[in-house]
Amino acid sequence: MATKYHRYMHVRSTSLPSTPHPLTAAVEEQLDKLRGWLEYSMSCSSSLSQVHQSEETLQSGFCGLTGMYECVEDLLQSQHTQQVLVHYRHEKLVDKLLDGSLRLVDVTSTTRDALLSMKECVEETQSTLRRTSCLRNETNYSYMLCRKKLHKEMQKFIGHLRDQEKHYAKPTDLVDKDADFVAIVRVLRNVEAITISVFETLLSLAPAPIKSLGGKPGSRWSLIPKLIQKKEELHVSVILHQHVP
């Protein structure tokens, strides 16, 4: 599977220029990797070994987000980027970037809460089954109700994620702007868009069927702390507020 995954990770989007802007090249490279991850994760959805692949795909998605936001932080903390943003600090585009980063923090928090709720549901069911077997049918029924409720909430939230695209500015608002500023705005827009797509995919992968309720907790739940850490990773707004008066 690793071979197939890395093949997808090296797929380059045709929507990006063939020669990335030097200022944003590192971020764009991570964006390309996440686009490859999205393509790969969709190819796994119909696989017979979906549970095992979902675990590895989730982990890869978390790692991809971490790598991307490390590059975003480096971009925003560079002296040249700060000078560009300060120069355009009164532009509505900068305000929209701030709003977008705040939306991502909200998206991360909601996604974390949804996955933690699912984890608690599974652990409670497993604990009950270990204590007694006479309530297996009732426990399974309660688990399915909980899972159905969480699935409904996740589908509603996924719809909310898709609505986020309505907040993106139109391409025409970059006309007659400095090339460096245009590059920064475009890459941060792409970061917001890919983050939403990744979270949407993570939510769709997380509820994958569990082979046995009575077995050991799936390793996927050991990944939850990584998602929680993403809230700390997604602090673009804080950095921008610090450096854009």
| pLDDT for the residue 153 | 74
156-190: per-residue pLDDT in tens? 777 776 776 665 545 556 777 888 988 998 899 89
Helices 179-205 and 25-44 cross at an angle (nearest 10°) of 20
Residue 72: the pLDDT is 93
Using a cut of 0.75, tell me whether the model's pTM lies above it. Answer: no
Sequence-distant (≥ 6) Cβ neighbours of residue 57 within 8 angstroms: 37, 40, 41, 44, 205
Q: Where are the domains of the chain?
A: 2-8+23-243
Local confidence band at 207 (pLDDT 50, 70, 90 cut-offs): low
pLDDT tens column, 185-202: 889 989 988 988 888 887
Q: Name the token pair of 180.
A: 């460096």
Residues for the chain: how many in total? 245
The DSSP 8-state label assigned to residue 220 in this structure reads G
* Residue 138, pLDDT score: 67
Residue 171 or 56, more confident: 56
Helical H segments across 88-135, by residue range: 92-131
